Structure 1
Amino acid sequence: MPWIQIPKVEGTASRQAHADLPANTYERELGKEGFYGPATQMHHRHPPTGWSAIEGPLKPHAFDTQKLDAAGEGPWQSPLLFSNPAIRIRFLKLANNMDHLARNADGDELLFIHRGAGDLYCDYGRLTFREGDYLMLPRGTMWRIDVKEAVGALMIEATEDSYRLPEKGLVSHQAIFDPAILDTPKIDEAFLAQQDESAWRVVVKKKNDLSTLTYPFNPLDAVGWHGTLMPVRLNWRDIRPLMSHRYHVPPSAHTTFAAGRFVVCTFVPRPFESDPHVLNVPFFHSNDDYDELIFYHAGQFFSRDHIYPGMMTLHPGGIPHGPHPKALQNAEKKRGTMTDEVAVMVDTRDALDVTDEARAIEWAGYVDSWK
């Protein structure tokens, strides 16, 4: 069914979004369906995040994954930080090789390697990985990790769902990243060498309960396969972001993977906007249909202050969010010609629940950082 849309201009307003803003105003975008639906640009006399206090549960949050407990034995021992019926987000820490296989029967799994390196062994073969890699594992894949360097990884489960590539629209299927760059596991000498007749455990998660299957042999015993369903690897360095020197493109332009009720976006270094009449920091926005969770991987996120790699922020739908005051003050004083940031954003259509494990690593003063 079509949206109710009546193009209209009221009062003092710019002719185009994010450009030629009226003097001494702050733009806020109100949108439906994240950045995919109809939207209006509002022009305010004061920053929409200029609150003096917030009471109640609806407030921005920040968390520090570096404060999580020491490394565990596998993914299901990793703390669950955020969830809703469509997604479950954990942070995996491994210092040693996994001594068992894991299988997620609840949905596809996406790992983003924040630090470390190693080999992922799965039904399909061996896949090496390093810092900055995404590893997408289809639902039901058996896998384990051999650690070369201690691993810290964001885990994003698409509960009862599958990961797909976003629609590319006008810019062709090769835009953002060419699917030809996706790497797949190999049945190589190392994979064949790990096959043995020793007892192996497979810890299966289904409806968030764990079951253990024990085999008298290594069930990663494939000798070949063919088809169109398989794990894939993508490094953020292979992403070529959409950008415009005359327009600050919305986060939806950076979508990397999509599921039914959320999207995963990747922010990577890109040139600053060069047109003197356009915004070069993220615009204030009220996308009340989505929660916005960002994991900061590397660099300095130019719209945030006191946020460093390994931290996460959660901006729930229902209150406006946007750049920090320092970012606004320095908007015209760019640090060089390129942004310096790598971050993973998860926009969820359903509100995220914050677990006790996440609250234990929360920076409570984040809500006051806009004052």
Structure 2
Amino acid sequence: MSGESRKTAEGLTYLSGFGNEHSSEAVPGALPDGRNSPQRAPLGLYAEQLSGSAFTEPRAHNRRSWLYRIRPSAAHPPFTHTHNGWIRTGPFTESVPDPNRLRWDPLPDPADGTDFLAGLWTLGGNGDATRRTGMSVHLYHANSSMDRVFSDADGELLIVPERGGLLLRTEFGLLHVEPGHVALVPRGVRFRVELLDTAPGDGPDPTARGYVCENYGAPFRLPDLGPIGANGLANARDFRAPVAAYEDVEGPVEVVSKFCGNLWRATYDHSPLDVVAWHGNHVPYVYDLRRFNVIGSISYDHPDPSIFTVLTSPSDTPGLAGVDFVVFAPRWLVGEDTFRPPYFHRNVMSEYMGLIEGAYDAKTAGKGGFVPGGGSLHNMMSAHGPDRETFDRASAAELAPQKVDDGLAFMFETRWPLTLTPHAADADHLQRRYDDVWQGLERHFRPLH
């Protein structure tokens, strides 16, 4: 492609409040004064609304943005169906839900020239994208920047880098996303992924690697705090939106759209990333997970892991999320007379956990363990908890205040079981002996009489 990108300033702008109205313009005067759709938009631009919710949803839940662009999105040729690669979408009907505890090593190295879209690999999911319920878990492993543009009509994409930084060129501007950050691209927003300062992979070429939650349901929002009060967990002020930037590009550009589980492509005669100004609340953003304000016990025991929720996609049942995004960020452990790792547990929710860096305090790290880039799945009511080595160590530990700052883990937690794709169930990097980590948990019961 040829052309140029323009922006008002480097970097991002902080959101004044999560989900509130925001605006940005790459050229002064590009935003209309007081009217969303004036008879003639400023600077010869086209006015266009992008709706992420139904028009009549309650104001607090309504998502929409007005875009002022060089060409309207309607100016494109027909799309044709293209190969889906390793991407799958709910409903997941190729196999049955598996009650076993499962764990995977990181994805193998990709073939040369694999970009973010080609490097997406679906582990599994639930629900039905056509009915806007449920979610899917993808991983990505890429070694090439995209020279095409992608959008997802099926859901919003929460991108969790584990290795290598990403530059997301979106219709709204640029998002720089490093490991330890997450980025959210709303449903229908077009973007391109370029690799930044990628970490060396296992092969000769650098790669970028990470996780993606595709949320078909209600858009992610901050959870209610209830008795916690007004402060804590993720603060709205820490979410950052792009500064407006645009591409004024003439020439063929491949655009790929995900629609009802399939990929469709068209060749435009211009870049669709041509938004000069915008305002609204249906916007992409980035969040630094280390800014999460952890809440925990300062006496004994520890609260349920729901206190680590960063974002939630609510369902029609209050408190029962379609999917929660949870982070286990650096924190102090100070509970007295308390077994401090996560407790043994069976849960009505299903949990997919990934590791961004370091080690997780309930699992043994290292080869054959829970490692960065890998992941585990504990479907609903599957028994899980600390492995034997962790249990033995924690049971004998001196209970002095302890700083947990040598790892960063996360979880996608969902109300429905996750059904695996056949390629995830049969993957070479599936750990076949994961159950062994709980072997050797001995009987310690000693009746008093």
TM-score (norm 2): 0.66
* Alpha-carbon distance in structure 2 between the residues aligned to 1:168 and 1:195: 44
The runs of 5 or more residues in structure 2 that have no matched partner are 1-96, 128-133, 199-206, 316-321, 440-449
Partners of 2:110 and 2:119 within 8 A in 1? no
* Alpha-carbon distance in structure 2 between the residues aligned to 1:199 and 1:60: 47
Deviation at 1:73, TM superposition (A): 2.5
Residues 1:272 and 1:240: Cα distance change in structure 2 (over 3 Å): same
Counterpart in the other structure of 1:6: none
* Alpha-carbon distance in structure 2 between the residues aligned to 1:65 and 1:81: 12
* Alpha-carbon distance in structure 2 between the residues aligned to 1:89 and 1:224: 33
Alignment of structure 1 residues 196-211 onto 2, 5 Å = 196-211=249-264
Partners of 1:92 and 1:154 within 8 A in 2? yes
* Alpha-carbon distance in structure 2 between the residues aligned to 1:130 and 1:285: 32
Alignment partner of 1:264 is 2:321: no
| Runs of 4+ that moved beyond 6 A | none
Counterpart in the other structure of 1:21: none
Deviation at 1:362, TM superposition (A): 0.6
Alignment partner of 1:82 is 2:110: no
Partners of 1:106 and 1:160 within 8 A in 2? no
Superimposed CA distance per residue, residues 325-357 of structure 1 (whole angstroms, 9 cap, x where no aligned partner) = 111111142698212321111111111111233
Partners of 2:350 and 2:380 within 8 A in 1? yes
Counterpart in the other structure of 2:343: 283
Q: Which amino acid aligns with 1:308?
A: V
Partners of 2:186 and 2:282 within 8 A in 1? yes
Residues 1:91 and 1:264: Cα distance change in structure 2 (over 3 Å): same
Q: Which amino acid aligns with 1:166?
A: P
Deviation at 1:319, TM superposition (A): 2.8
Partners of 1:199 and 1:216 within 8 A in 2? yes
Residues 1:68 and 1:249: Cα distance change in structure 2 (over 3 Å): farther
Alignment of structure 1 residues 122-161 onto 2, 5 Å = 122-148=170-196, 149=198, 150-161=207-218
Partners of 1:107 and 1:161 within 8 A in 2? no
SS in 1 for 2:332: coil
Alignment partner of 1:315 is 2:381: no
Residues 1:77 and 1:119: Cα distance change in structure 2 (over 3 Å): closer
Superimposed CA distance per residue, residues 120-158 of structure 1 (whole angstroms, 9 cap, x where no aligned partner) = 111101111211111011100100112122321211101
Partners of 2:106 and 2:372 within 8 A in 1? no
Aligned residues: 310
Deviation at 1:57, TM superposition (A): 4.8
Alignment partner of 1:217 is 2:217: no
Q: Which amino acid aligns with 1:74?
A: F
* Alpha-carbon distance in structure 2 between the residues aligned to 1:317 and 1:234: 29
* Alpha-carbon distance in structure 1 between the residues aligned to 2:409 and 2:123: 18
Residues 1:272 and 1:95: Cα distance change in structure 2 (over 3 Å): same
Q: Which amino acid aligns with 2:411?
A: M
* Alpha-carbon distance in structure 1 between the residues aligned to 2:270 and 2:401: 56
Residues 1:243 and 1:341: Cα distance change in structure 2 (over 3 Å): same
TM-score (norm 1): 0.79
Q: Which amino acid aligns with 1:282?
A: P
Deviation at 1:171, TM superposition (A): 2.5
Alignment of structure 1 residues 167-246 onto 2, 5 Å = 167-187=224-244, 191-192=245-246, 194-246=247-299
Counterpart in the other structure of 1:14: none
The runs of 5 or more residues in structure 1 that have no matched partner are 1-55
